[in-house]
Amino acid sequence: MPNPTAAMLVIGDEILSGRTRDANMHFLAGQLSNRGIDLAEVRIVSDKHDKIVSSLNALRAEYDHVFTSGGIGPTHDDITADAVAAAFGVNVDIRDDARAILVAHYQRTGLELNAARLRMARIPDGASLIENPVSSAPGFTIGNVHVMAGVPAVFQAMVASVLPLLTSGQPLYSQSLCINRGEGEIAADLSALAADFPELSIGCYPFQRDGAFGANVVVRGQARAQVDAAMVRLSDLFPEAVA
Amino acid sequence: MPNPTAAMLVIGDEILSGRTRDANMHFLAGQLSNRGIDLAEVRIVSDKHDKIVSSLNALRAEYDHVFTSGGIGPTHDDITADAVAAAFGVNVDIRDDARAILVAHYQRTGLELNAARLRMARIPDGASLIENPVSSAPGFTIGNVHVMAGVPAVFQAMVASVLPLLTSGQPLYSQSLCINRGEGEIAADLSALAADFPELSIGCYPFQRDGAFGANVVVRGQARAQVDAAMVRLSDLFPEAVA
């Protein structure tokens, strides 16, 4: 059986403007990889309602799971819950279970549950809540879409709440070899190797270091014996390489 | 006149597998922002021909410019040139001008211009070459699509070759304020401010530091006087904040 597939939709201007460098995508990619869920596409879009709706509808039709980050806080630029509701054609409003979580949290912290904070209890009809052990305001799952916060600590906590609920695949077994030669010198051998092991993914990731070119060759596959066999061939071809 | 818009298409498995963290997107975002070109969307897809073709066709229809990174090296997993040619419905083959660049480079370095390396001279019909001062093998521009390498040093050099050729927009003027209060406490004031300055983009980017929540408020706009006026209002509202 093929592994489940996933996409991520990052919502927010801060990465597109160059202001901040992504962290959530890198975290999610690693987590999904460990669970054998194939992250096949990521899209990053700005805080525009129509764009969020159309991106979400494209991704949820194509992949088994969609993970979103960003836009579910209390401020005016937090429009994700409304966009998700629109994508699914359902109503969105303050929901009692989400409100109860916020009431308890703000009683505990002594802060006021004002109108802005109450916006974080706006949940699309039919969604189930995602627990947020960091700052309480929940994310939610609707259909195959998991809607989570953009603050990395909260995003990571929500991912930890969601992932155990999903069907895992078989994690890819992977091995890599660092070869201090230009890609062009090793390409023919790699191509022959890829042809001999059609069920493996053999990736070649070039780098430049101290003025010299090299490449990390990464062999991935579900069958450990095949990956190991390909690595033996690689080591024979490039005896000077470093695992 | 509105600023030109742009999208980026990152091609390659290494970010999706969680193996490496993106660097090129962050670099390009900053460069475009400086030139007043609005990066509106990024997609990251794996080395799959059909997916590259469909993503590229969607993005080039929607935005003024599309920048791609990755997949133009000499190895078997470098399939970008073929996918771009397919997206434009043109032929792709080894081209004399690109081959001449490689011949000169490999004569200089004393390395062999073998069949794998010659693949880097495969250029779609009608494309113009993008100079690569780092390792010679060129990128190319076809229509509104700029095809560049994935190795960060090479990507950056190619961006430097391409950007001066494009029509710039008006760079957004931006100011920011760091407020050590939770978003929920400042949301109502920010919302009122955003309503009073409809031509500005007022973003609120929450963070968590040493167990406390805070937010960076970023005000962006083309009219410096408006941005400054909004910042004066912000400083009055939150006198304890730090610029």
pLDDT digits (tens, 9 = 90+) for B128-186: 999 999 989 999 999 999 999 999 999 999 999 999 999 888 888 899 999 999 889 99
Say whether A185 and B21 touch across the interface (CB within 8 A).
no
Distance, in Å, from the CA atom of B95 to the CA atom of B100, rounded to the nearest integer, reads: 9
Which residues of chain A fall short of a pLDDT of 70?
A: none
Name the region of A75 (left: φ>0; alpha: ψ -120 to 50; beta: rest): beta
Which residues 6+ apart lie within 8 Å of A17 measured at CB?
Answer: B29, B33, B39, B172, B220
Q: Give the mutation candidate from A183, A204, A220, A237 for the B interface (greatest B CB count, under 10 A).
A: A183
Q: Range with the lowest mean pLDDT among A19-28, A77-86, B41-50, B99-108?
A: A19-28
Q: Which CATH number fits the domain that encloses residue A48?
A: 3.40.980.10
Angle subtended at Cα B46 by Cα B40 and Cα B50, rounded to the nearest 5 degrees: 90
pLDDT at B124 over 90: yes
Same domain, B139 and B26: yes
Quote the CA–CA distance of B217 and B204 in Å, as a whole number: 5
Q: Are residues B123 and B188 in the same domain?
A: no
Query: What are A58-81's pLDDT values in tens digits?
Result: 999 999 999 999 999 999 999 999
For the question of an ipTM over 0.90, the answer is yes
Domain end residue (candidates: A149, A165, A181): A165
- Give me the residues of B, 167-226, that contact A with CB < 8 A: 172, 182-188, 190-191, 194, 201-208, 213, 215, 218, 220
Which of A103, A154, A205, A217 to mutate: most B Cβ within 10 Å? A205
Contact B18 A33 (CB under 8 A): yes
CA distance B125 to chain A (A): 24
Compare CB distances from A75 to B74, B117, B183 and report the shortest one's residue: B183
Q: Could you tell me if B70 and B180 lie in one domain?
A: no
Residue B207 has pLDDT above 90, yes or no: no
pLDDT value of residue A168: 86
User: Which of B141, B165, B189 is the last residue before a domain boundary?
Assistant: B165
What band does B126 get if pLDDT is binned at 50, 70 and 90? very high
Q: Where do runs of H (alpha helix) occur along A173-223?
A: 183-196
A20 close to B (CB below 8 A): yes
Residue B79 domain-assigned (yes or no): yes
Q: Answer whether B59 touches A (CB < 8 Å).
A: no
Number of domains in chain B: 2
Domain containing A232 equals 173-237
Give the separation between CA B133 and CA B125, rounded to whole angstroms.
23
- Convert the pLDDT of each residue in B51-95 to its tens digit: 999 999 999 999 999 999 999 999 999 999 999 999 999 999 999
